[in-house]
A and B are shown apart, each in its own frame.
Chain A
C-alpha cells in the first residue's frame, strides 16, 4: 500500500464527455447492487467503505474544472453510506450532499447499492470496487471468506496499471490523414424512439428478471450464439412486439447500443473506463424473427469487436483529444460547442442501450451471503428504457430501467424467456403502481 500514486489525474479518454453531458436531472450514472441473504448492518458497511476506499485511489477523488478539461482531484472529505431513498439516485456530482465523491453507496434491508458516475469508471471497474466493499463488509462481520484471487482486498497491493488510461496506453500513433473517422460515425438514420408516459415525480421504474444461467447457456448452445447475442436479439424482438408491431407503419430502425469491454482484448486491468459501444441496428419493417436477429446481432458485434477496427477507433478518439485546437480550447468553449451541437443533433439515434456486465466473479465462500447481483444503467427522455445484465454464481439478473410508466417491453421479454423454457422470476420497485409494496 506504499505505491506512490499521483494525487490528481486526468479523466480518461472516453470519460471526458460525461461531465459535459451531465444535466440537472441526468448524470450518466449506473448502479451495481448486491442482494444479501441477511439485512445490511449500516455501521459495518460504513467501516467497510472507509477501508475499501483507501485501496481504490481512483475512487477517492472529486471532479473539478480545469482551464481546458475536467480533472479528478484527490478527495480527503469523509464518505458516508446512505439509507436508500424511494427516488432512485439521479444526481451525485452536482449534489452538495456527497462531499464531492463521484459515487454513492446506499443500503436498504438486504440491498447494498453503488451508484457510479460514468466519468469515474465503467461497469467492470465499479464491479471490482463493489466486490471488494462487500468482501470487506462480510469480513468485518466476522465471516471467514477466502478471496481466491477474485477480490482486490484492502491488503492487495495497488497495481499502478489499475489507474492507467487504457485508451492512451493502447493507442497507436497515426497521422491525421490516416485517421479512420468513419469508424466513429454511426448510422445517419434516426432511430425508432420508445414513447410512453413519463413518471411525473422524476422516479425510475426498475424490473429485475432472474433466470438460471445454465439453462440459458444450454439454449444458446442450441442456437449457436452467445448469451449477449441471444439477450440482445430478444430485446429487439420485445421492442418490436410491444411497441411497433401493428401500431407503427414505416418505423425507423431499432438501434441498440451495446458496450464492449476491451480489457480482455488488450490485457488491461484498469479500473477506469475501457469500453466502446457497438451500434446494432435492425429494420422493423422487415421480418423480425429471433434467428434472423441473432444473426444480425452476431454480425454487428463481430464487426465491432475486430481488434484492428477497435485499434482504429481508439486511435481516432485519442487523436481527437490530442488535436492541438482541441487542447487549447477553453473548457467553457468546449461546453458551449457541446451544448449547441447536442441541441441540434441530439441523442435521437439510439432506441435503447443493452449492457451485459458479464460474470461478477465472487469466491465460493460468498455464495452463502450474496443472493444475487444486478446492474442497471441510466435512461433519459430520448432513450427511456435500458436493459442490463449481470451474472453471479448460477443466476443471471436482467434489469430493465425506465422513466416511462408502461411495462409492455419487460412483459414481452419475460414471455420470450418463458417460451424458451426458462424458469423466470421477477422483482420490481413497482414505481408505476401506487401502494404496491
Chain B
C-alpha cells in the first residue's frame, strides 16, 4: 500500500499509515504483523504500593493511639516508643529481610543490628520504670555479644547449606564472623566488663573462620578476587 499523504510504501498489515495515521486502502488482515499487537497491559505494581501505604497507615494509627493511651494514663514511662519501633521492625522484617533479594549476609546483619537496637530501646524504657534494675547494663554485657554470636551461628548454618552452589557466601560469612570479635574489642576497651559472653562470641567466630578457610580456601580466594577486583 502507499500512503498518499507521506509518499511512503506501507505494509499491508496495518489499517493506518504509521507516520500520519491516515486510513489506508488495501489492509490485509491475513498478513502477519511485524510486532505483537498492543494487547494485555502489564500488571501495575499497585499491590506493593497499597500494602506499604496500608501498613504504614494502620501502623501510624496504632502508634498515635498508643501514644494517647500512654501519655493519658502514665506519662512518666513512655512505652509508646516501643510500639512504634516494633511496628517499624515488623515492616523491615517482612520487606527488607523475608521478601528482599539481598544476600543472606546483609539480611542477617540487618536483623542483628535491629535486634540489638530493639533491646537497647526496651532497656531504655524499663530504666524509666525501674532505674535500679539497670537493663542497659545487661544488654551491653550479655545480650549484645550473644546476639552477635547467634547471628553468626545462623550465618554459618546458611553457609554450610549453600557454599557449594554459591561459594560467594563464604566471603560474606567471613566478613560477618569478623563482627563476632567486636565484643572482645569492647572488653579490651573496658566498655564490656563481663568476659565470658564476649569470649564465646570471639571463640565461635575464630573457629568458624578457620573452618571456612579449611573447607573452602580455594573458593574463598576466587570469590575474594572477584569481590575485591584483585
Contacts and interface: CB of A to CB of B under 8 A. Distances in A.
A430 B20 contact: no
B8 A418 contact: yes
A202 B9 CA distance: 29
B49 interface: no
Nearest to A202: B42
Given A426-B10, A427-B11, A86 B21 contact: no
Nearest to A327: B229
Contacts of A110: 32, 34
A426 B11 CA distance: 7
Interface in A110-138: 110-111
A428 B229 contact: no
A110 B11 CA distance: 14
Contact of B34 (A71, A96, A427): A427
A32 B46 CA distance: 32
Contact of B42 (A87, A424, A435): A87
A437 B35 contact: yes
Interface string A1-29: 00000001010000000000000000000
A66 B32 contact: no
B226 A8 contact: yes
Q: Chain A: interface secondary structure?
A: loop
Contacts of A66: 226-229
Query: For this complex, into which size category does the number of interface residues on chain B fall?
Result: 20 to 34
Given A66-B229, A202-B42, A111 B34 contact: yes
Given A35-B34, A108-B36, A436 B19 contact: no
Contact of B19 (A39, A202, A207, A423): A207
A201 interface: yes
Contacts of A249: none
Nearest to A434: B38
Contact of B9 (A73, A96, A407, A423): A423
A415 interface: yes
B13 interface: yes
Contacts of B227: 66-67
B37 A437 contact: yes
B6 A84 contact: no
A67 B228 contact: yes
A428 B18 contact: yes
A434 B16 CA distance: 11
A85 B37 CA distance: 9
A141 B39 CA distance: 31
Contacts of B168: 64
A415 B7 contact: yes
A207 B20 CA distance: 12
A424 B8 contact: yes
Contacts of B36: 84-86, 108
A71 B41 CA distance: 34
Given A407-B18, A436-B15, A437-B13, A109 B32 contact: yes
A411 B32 contact: no
Interface in B1-33: 3, 6-11, 13-21, 32-33
Contacts of A426: 3, 6, 8-11, 17-19
B38 A437 contact: yes
Interface in A64-108: 64, 66-69, 71, 73, 84-87, 96, 108
A87 B17 CA distance: 21
B226 A437 contact: no
A169 interface: no
Contacts of A42: none
A203 interface: yes
B38 A86 contact: yes
Contact of A201 (B8, B19, B32, B41): B41
Contact of A414 (B19, B33, B40, B228): B19
B40 to A, nearest CB: 7
B35 A108 contact: yes
B17 to A, nearest CB: 7
Nearest to B228: A67
Interface in B150-187: 168
A69 B229 contact: yes
A410 B35 contact: no
Contacts of A433: 16, 21
Contacts of B20: 407, 411
Contact of B40 (A10, A86, A327, A431): A86
A327 B228 CA distance: 10
Contacts of B8: 209, 414, 418, 424-426
A392 to B, nearest CB: 16
A239 interface: no
B197 to A, nearest CB: 31
Interface centre among B7, B21, B38 (most CB of A within 10 A): B38
Contacts of B41: 87, 201
B46 to A, nearest CB: 14
Nearest to B29: A437
Given A71-B229, A423-B9, A424-B8, A407 B19 contact: yes
13 contacts: A10-B229, A66-B227, A86-B38, A86-B40, A109-B32, A110-B32, A110-B34, A111-B35, A202-B42, A208-B34, A414-B8, A415-B6, A433-B16
Closest 6 CB pairs of A and B: A428-B18, A425-B9, A429-B35, A411-B19, A437-B37, A437-B33
Interface of A: 8, 10, 35, 39, 64, 66-69, 71, 73, 84-87, 96, 108-111, 201-203, 206-209, 327, 407, 410-411, 414-415, 418, 423-437
Given A66-B228, A108-B36, 10 more contacts: A10-B229, A67-B228, A69-B229, A86-B36, A87-B42, A111-B35, A207-B18, A207-B19, A429-B34, A437-B33
